[in-house]
């Protein structure tokens, strides 16, 4: 079983990722937590956890880890300093730690618009942070998948999506479906070293991700 470190495990998407991994035969989730009081949640779920703070030292969290899903974010309500500290510097620090630990694949939850932050004035700082983290991952030498979804909703996932390197449209996608896309991207041959935009659509997740891997 491959050990998958989930960064952002306590967030809305991260929790969904852990639930999917728990029911998998191939992967064992390891939740990275920042505070001791968060461990009870994962103990109750019978999920392994490690301590790690994106604004502190993280190398120790990577012991024995095979692959990584980065689903952390500072959230829309925090100031610019926090966005840069978590979404940019924290992500880059984690990528460096993953490289040192010889992680076999790094799956990054990014955001649509991160390829050209200047087009989105309101989200510019957030998208610039995501852009810098994405570029750092691309240049790291670690096999990667960068997933850039549209606006995230808490709607029930329909497992129907639209994927492309560039969709040239905006829209929404459920966190459920994003979590499934992140987990499916862990498979070695799928979407390797690819950047993919995702919206809700008409194609099954499995078909769409296989096609996007070509």
What's the mean pLDDT in 137-154?
97
Q: How many CB atoms lie within 10 A of CB 42?
A: 20
Count of domains forming the chain: 1
Catalytic residues, which ones?
Answer: 126
Closest residue by Cα to residue 87 from 52, 105, 63, 114? 114
Q: Are 108 and 67 in contact (CB under 8 A)?
A: no
Can you tell me which residue has the tokens 């510097």? Answer: 89
At 122, is the pLDDT very low, low, confident or very high (cuts 50, 70, 90)? confident
CA atoms within 13 A on the CB side of 61: 30
Structure tokens at 125: 């700082």
Q: What are 156-198's pLDDT values in tens digits?
A: 999 999 999 999 999 999 999 999 999 999 999 999 999 999 9
Residue 195 to residue 84: CA distance in whole angstroms: 21
Q: At residue 74, does pLDDT exceed 90?
A: no
Reading the block at residue 151, the tokens are 């606006």
Contact 184, 155 (CB under 8 A): no
**Residue 176 belongs to domain spanning:** 2-212
Full-model pTM: 0.96
Domain of 40: which CATH number?
3.40.50.720
Decide: 205 and 177 in contact? Cβ < 8 Å: yes
Q: What is the pLDDT of residue 153?
A: 96
Q: What is the DSSP letter of 37?
A: G
Question: Is residue 211 classed as helix, strand or coil in its secondary structure?
Answer: helix
């Amino acid at each position: 079983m491959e050990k998958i470190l989930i960064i952002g495990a306590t967030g809305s998407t991260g929790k969904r990722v852990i639930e999917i991994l728990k029911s998998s035969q191939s992967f064992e989730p390891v939740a990275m937590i920042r505070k001791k009081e968060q461990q009870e949640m994962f103990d109750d779920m019978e999920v392994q956890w490690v301590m790690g703070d994106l604004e502190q030292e993280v190398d120790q969290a990577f012991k024995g880890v095979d692959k990584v899903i980065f689903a952390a974010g500072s959230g829309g309500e925090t100031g610019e300093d926090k966005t840069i500290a978590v979404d940019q510097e924290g992500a880059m620090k984690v990528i460096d730690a993953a490289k040192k630990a010889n992680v076999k694949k790094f799956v990054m939850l990014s955001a649509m618009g991160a390829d050209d932050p200047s087009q989105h004035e309101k989200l510019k700082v957030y998208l610039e942070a995501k852009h810098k983290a994405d570029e750092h991952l691309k240049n790291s030498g670690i096999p990667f998948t960068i997933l850039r979804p549209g606006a995230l909703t808490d709607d029930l996932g329909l497992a129907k999506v639209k994927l492309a390197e560039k969709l040239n449209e905006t829209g929404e996608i459920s966190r459920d479906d994003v979590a499934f896309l992140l987990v499916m991207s862990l498979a070695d041959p799928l979407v390797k070293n690819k950047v993919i935009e995702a919206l809700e659509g008409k194609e099954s997740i499995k078909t769409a991700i296989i096609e996007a891997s070509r």
